[in-house]
Structure 1
Amino acid sequence: MNGKGKCLCGSVQLEVEYASNELAACHCSMCRNWSGGPMLAIDCADSIKISGESNVVRYQSSDWAERGFCGKCGTHLFYFLVPSNEYHLPVGLLNPDENFKLTHQIFIDEKPEYYELKNQTQNMTGAEVFAHFESGK
């Protein structure tokens, strides 16, 4: 599946190939701080084409990840896992008519009590997420 998206001002345009139609909700404190709520993201692996890349600002938020945003309008563009060269894009950035499905939630142990997603999903704690990535699965 292929998709397209752009920032609010149109200075950055993205063309991606989705790894699947499955979405993840990340409840970690950094994603909530960055986006104002859980980050709903889709895995685009390394298949991403960025037009207007000179407008993209990358912020290294940890030893293993960068967060990209438009330097003109501030739109959140991606979460990039450096070791595996994987891009995860906020789903709201992409075509709204896609057949996306929320299948898993990560850092569920950091989710605040004031919201609850009703979807039946696979849930992972932060420790389980790190163990998953360390094992390479």
Structure 2
Amino acid sequence: MSREATGGCACGRVRYRVAIDSDEAYLCHCRMCQRATGGVSIAFKNVKKEAVSWEHEPDWYKSSPIAQRPYCGECGTSLGFAFPDSDNMDLTIGSFDDPSCFRPKHHFGAESMHRAWINTEGLPEYRTDQYKPLTDRWIKATGKLPD
């Protein structure tokens, strides 16, 4: 049974609704994704293109001769990946309003995986709302902490 999920870019210009049928997602480590997102990997949810409804159409970047990527031309948020000749596409997990409902089920592009970034268990953890230089900046700029 499918449910509706929503998401969009950092500035709010590009928004989407999508019917999803499971919590399964995956991590892509390929060099194309690393370069396109600036990360060591990117978390994706594979969906049917016809299940995605864009409230404002994203910009599209032809990232290779066989693929294109939706993004926001205003804030730069990476929103996904698509083969033009496929019925499916990927949406970035981080662009969903509630990314916590997804679970990684596999890795892709393992030839470019940076294993030191996969298992970070045991590293110190710091909260943004407890980092005084950051909270001071927010208070100075807006009078409050972000939601």
Moved over 6 A (4+): none
Partner residue of 1:44? Answer: 47
Moved more, 26-35 or 62-71: 62-71
Partner residue of 1:13? Answer: 15
Q: Whose helix fraction is larger, Structure 1's or Structure 2's? A: 2
In 2 relative to 1, CA 112–98 (structure 1 residues): closer, same or farther, beyond 3 Å?
A: closer
| Rounded Cα–Cα distance in structure 1 between residues aligned with 2:10 and 2:24 | 24
Q: Secondary structure at the match of 1:33?
A: helix
Structure 1, unpaired ranges of 5+: 119-137
Q: Which amino acid aligns with 1:39?
A: I
Structure 2, unpaired ranges of 5+: 121-147
Partner residue of 1:66? Answer: 68
Structure with larger Rg:
2
| Rounded Cα–Cα distance in structure 1 between residues aligned with 2:82 and 2:59 | 12
1:8-49 superposed Cα distances (whole Å, 9 cap, x missing partner): 111111001124211110000111111122010001111100
Q: Whose strand fraction is larger, Structure 1's or Structure 2's? A: 1
Tell me how many residue pairs correspond in the alignment: 116
Report the identity percentage. Answer: 28
Residue 117 of structure 1 and its aligned partner are, at CA, apart by 4.2
The Cα RMSD (Å) is 1.7
| Rounded Cα–Cα distance in structure 1 between residues aligned with 2:23 and 2:47 | 10
Contact 1:3 1:15 in 2 (8 A): yes
1:85-109 superposed Cα distances (whole Å, 9 cap, x missing partner): 3220110111326521110100111
With normalisation by structure 2, the TM-score equals 0.72
With normalisation by structure 1, the TM-score equals 0.76
1:31-73 superposed Cα distances (whole Å, 9 cap, x missing partner): 11111220100011111001111xx221111232111111111
| Rounded Cα–Cα distance in structure 2 between residues aligned with 1:89 and 1:117 | 23
